[in-house]
Structure 1
Amino acid sequence: MLVKFTSSTSGQIMMFAQVARQLLELVGKDCSARGVITTEQLPEAIERLRVASVEHTSHSTNHSEADNEDGSNEQDPSPIGFGQRAYPMIELLEWTRKEDGFVLWEAAKDF
């Protein structure tokens, strides 16, 4: 299922419900079919997502040097990390905050 986030001032993004759930829970929102991040809530939401992105990045780099099963230390291509998934949302929230807007989300059902 997809979740669409629409800014009142700067456009929209879509993401899978699993990722949207993770981001919305970090900012303290219920994962209902529709919701809003108000103008007043934007600064705290941005800060929470930025902090979580940094924490996830530092945690993943600690484990990136693990040996492969054959004993070699070659690195597999890294999966997409939390920070990369959160970046579009952070940018949308930042642009919206600059223009005193709000962000709505919409999904087919609660997720």
Structure 2
Amino acid sequence: MPYKFKSRATADLIMLDATARRLLDILGKDTTGHGIITVEQIPGAIAALEQAVQREEEQRAAAKETQDADEDAQRDEAPAGAWDPVSLRQRTAPFLDMLKRSAAQGREVTW
């Protein structure tokens, strides 16, 4: 089931279930039904998402440094893009934009 995020400051944002649940989990929000991120909660939500992005990028960098030769050989044989999953930074970008624009206009985000 896709999630539809709404704000009076932006157009609706539709996300697939797994991505939306991951972002809402990062924010500590309930993923079982409708919810709201109030204007007062938006700065904390932005900070939490940015910290999660930073942690993931640090983990990816550490993992890249510790790959062994066998994994490098498998990567060479894999189809293009098979080892480049979509990063959290890419997945959060539209949601962060919605949060920032909503905060600037004093509007909450609901789903």
| TM-score interval, smaller chain | 0.7 to 0.9
> In the alignment, what sits opposite 2:15?
15
Matched, 1:86 2:92: yes
TM-score by length of structure 2 reads 0.82
Aligned-partner Cα distance in 1 for 2:73–2:34: 49
Residue 68 of structure 1 deviates from its aligned partner by: 4.6
Alignment RMSD (CA, Å): 2.1
**Number of residue equivalences:** 105
Give secondary structure in 2 for the equivalent of 1:33. Answer: coil
Give secondary structure in 2 for the equivalent of 1:26. Answer: helix
TM-score by length of structure 1 reads 0.82
Aligned-partner Cα distance in 1 for 2:10–2:74: 47
Gaps in structure 2 of 5+ consecutive residues: none
Question: Greater share of helix residues, 1 or 2?
Answer: 2
Aligned-partner Cα distance in 1 for 2:38–2:29: 11
Gaps in structure 1 of 5+ consecutive residues: 106-111
Q: List aligned pairs for 1:4-43, cutoff 5 A.
A: 4-43=4-43
Question: Greater share of strand residues, 1 or 2?
Answer: 1
